[in-house]
C-alpha cells in the first residue's frame, strides 16, 4: 500500500476537538498524514487552537513556503472560512474534518478554500 493511499484510511475517523479515545481533530489529522508520508512537521503549538488564521499562517512560514494551491500529498492548508481549520492534501484530494458528519472526510482538491503551505527543508532549521 502506498503512503498516499494509506492516508485514506483516516476517512470516517470520528472528530473531537483535542482528539483521544479513537477520535482525531484537524491538527492531529494533518500531523498523522505528514508522519505517514515521512514529512517533517513543525513544532506543535497549543495556541493553534485559538490563534487567528494570520498568526497560524505566519508560524507555518517558519516551516514551509506559501504556495498557490495543493499539488503534492502533504501540502497543508488553513481554510479561509471564518474559523481556521487545518486540511491536508492526500491522494489528489483534501482530507478535512466534515463538521456535519463529525468525522474525517475527503473531497477533490479545489473544493475546500484554503491557504496552502509546502514543507521546505531549507526553512526547517
Q: What is the mean pLDDT of the chain?
A: 87
pLDDT of residue 5: 52
Three cell numbers written together for 29: 489529522
Model's pTM, two decimal places?
0.87
pLDDT the model gives residue 124: 46
Domains of the chain, by residue range, sit at 3-123
CA dist list (Å): 67 to 61, 109, 115, 124: 11, 14, 8, 16
Mean pLDDT within 80-86? 83
Considering Cα of 33, then 81, then 106, then 18, what sign does the dihedral take? Answer: positive
Indicate the CATH number for domain 3-123: 3.90.1720.10
Amino acid at each position: 500500500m502506498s503512503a498516499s493511499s494509506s492516508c485514506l484510511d483516516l476517512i470516517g475517523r470520528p472528530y473531537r476537538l483535542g482528539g483521544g479515545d479513537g477520535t482525531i481533530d484537524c491538527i492531529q489529522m494533518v500531523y498523522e498524514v505528514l508522519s505517514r508520508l515521512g514529512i517533517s512537521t513543525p513544532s506543535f503549538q497549543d495556541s493553534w487552537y485559538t490563534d487567528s488564521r494570520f498568526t497560524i499562517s505566519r508560524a507555518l512560514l517558519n516551516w514551509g513556503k506559501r504556495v498557490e494551491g495543493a499539488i503534492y500529498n502533504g501540502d497543508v492548508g488553513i481554510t479561509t472560512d471564518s474559523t481556521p481549520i487545518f486540511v491536508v492534501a492526500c491522494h489528489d484530494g483534501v482530507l478535512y474534518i466534515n463538521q456535519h458528519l463529525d468525522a474525517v472526510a475527503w473531497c477533490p482538491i479545489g473544493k475546500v478554500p484554503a491557504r496552502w503551505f509546502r514543507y521546505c527543508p531549507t526553512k526547517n532549521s
